[in-house]
Amino acid sequence: MTFIWDPIRLVNLGLCIIILIYGFKNYKKDKNELSFYIGIAFGLFGISHLALSFGASKSSLITDLLIAVRTAAYLTVLFALYKFGRKRSVEN
């Protein structure tokens, strides 16, 4: 695989890594599940950006896998928001 220099993907990858790290650090510190799920979701987005940076979009099988990874990331964010909303409604 050849690395494809794309500044947008690299910035996105870097930000995904930072969010992943902060999500895990906040979870370890406060046991906040929302931080954990958001960190996981952005870790999945980071995998997608990394794979695309190495030219993975040339194979339809890999493209299907990347669609599944991104869908899992979005569903993880939705799950985190659902849990957050449910927790807030119980508190009120």
Domain segments of the chain: what residues?
7-91
Query: Which pLDDT band holds residue 1 (cuts at 50, 70, 90)?
Result: low
Angle separating helix axes 33-53 and 7-30, nearest 10 degrees: 160
pLDDT digits (tens, 9 = 90+) for 61-72: 888 899 999 999
Q: How far apart are the first and last CA of the chain?
A: 53
* Exposure of 13 in the CB half-sphere (CA atoms within 13 A): 14
CB atoms within 10 A of CB 27: 18
With cut-offs at 50, 70 and 90, classify the pLDDT of residue 92: low
pLDDT at 85: 87
pLDDT 10s digits, 17-63: 999 999 999 999 999 899 999 999 999 999 999 988 888 777 788 88
